Amino acid sequence: MDSKRKISKSAVLIKYEKINHPPMDEFCYPTDNAYTKKEVVKMEADILKHLKFEVGGPTIMTFLGKFIAVAQKDYQIPNLKLEFLGYYLAELSLLENDCVILLPTLVAASVVFLSRFTIQPKLHPWSSALQDFSSYKPADLKECVLIIHDLQLSKRRGSLVASRNKYKQYEFKCISTLSSPQEIPNLFLKMFKIHSEASQHNLLRKNYHNQSNKIITGELLELHGPPLLHSTAFQVACG
């Protein structure tokens, strides 16, 4: 019975993990056909019932596709780079134990955050839609984002190149060759109020105009002094 249970466990595992699993005959062969296919299949069913069919939990990929779909709404047409970059960074995260122990939702959200930052580093990589959908704020993602960013820059696990080489291929848009800035602005990782892309441009424009006004005002003061000193009202008041 123990041997049959071991064979059945192996069959369950291989069938669950592999796309093209071997035929049942190959599981019976190591036992010199001591058990029939019917017996092994029955034991498989017993094992699955005992486990209540809970043979695997949710992974990063369970949530990544959903988060990417939300992120894609910011583009007029689907951005394939965003999708492939997300898959690439998700694979890299599996190389680091510090990521593996985190919730898959957190890692998936961090992957989307970093993907958007890599593609458009001057814009805030998060959005109100992503925050509402994932329930994560940028500050919640900081630790995980920085770990995956180090993996992306080969500061961690740089000798493990299988995923990097895989995503260098044309079919994946050569996404692993896409460079990312060396540093992520701390503001992006702390900011809780999320602005739309248009709002960010308006904010930058407003800051530019304010700065320009300060420069112009400073030059006028340097040339003419404070306006009040040259006003008629000031001269009358002073007699």
Predicted local confidence at residue 238, as pLDDT: 44
- Reduced 3-state DSSP string for the chain: CHHHHHHHHHHHHHHHHCCCCCCCHHHHHHHCCCCCHHHHHHHHHHHHHHCCCCCCCCCHHHHHHHHHHHHHCCCCCCCHHHHHHHHHHHHHHCCCHHHHCCCHHHHHHHHHHHHHHHHCCCCCCCCHHHHHHHCCCHHHHHHHHHHHHHHHCCCCCCCCCHHHHHCCCHHHCCHHHCCCCCCCCHHHHHCCCCCCHHHHHHHHHHHHHHHHHHHHHHHHHHHHCCHHHHCHHHHHHCC
Please check the confidence at residue 212 and state whether its pLDDT lies above 70: no
* Arithmetic mean of pLDDT, 51-57: 82
Angle at the Cα of 16 from the Cα atoms of 32 and 176, rounded to 5 degrees: 125
Predicted local confidence at residue 233, as pLDDT: 40
Please check the confidence at residue 208 and state whether its pLDDT lies above 80: no
**pLDDT tens, residue by residue, 144-186:** 999 999 999 999 998 889 999 999 999 999 999 998 999 999 9
Where residue 219 falls among pLDDT bands split at 50, 70, 90? very low
Where residue 211 falls among pLDDT bands split at 50, 70, 90? low
Least confident of 3-12, 152-161, 203-212: 203-212
Which domains occur in the chain, in start order? 2-50 (no CATH), 60-194 (1.10.472.10), 199-237 (no CATH)
Least confident of 3-7, 36-40, 99-103: 3-7
State the chain's maximal CA–CA distance in angstroms: 119
Instruction: Express as a percent the part of the chain with pLDDT over 70.
Output: 72
Predicted local confidence at residue 193, as pLDDT: 62
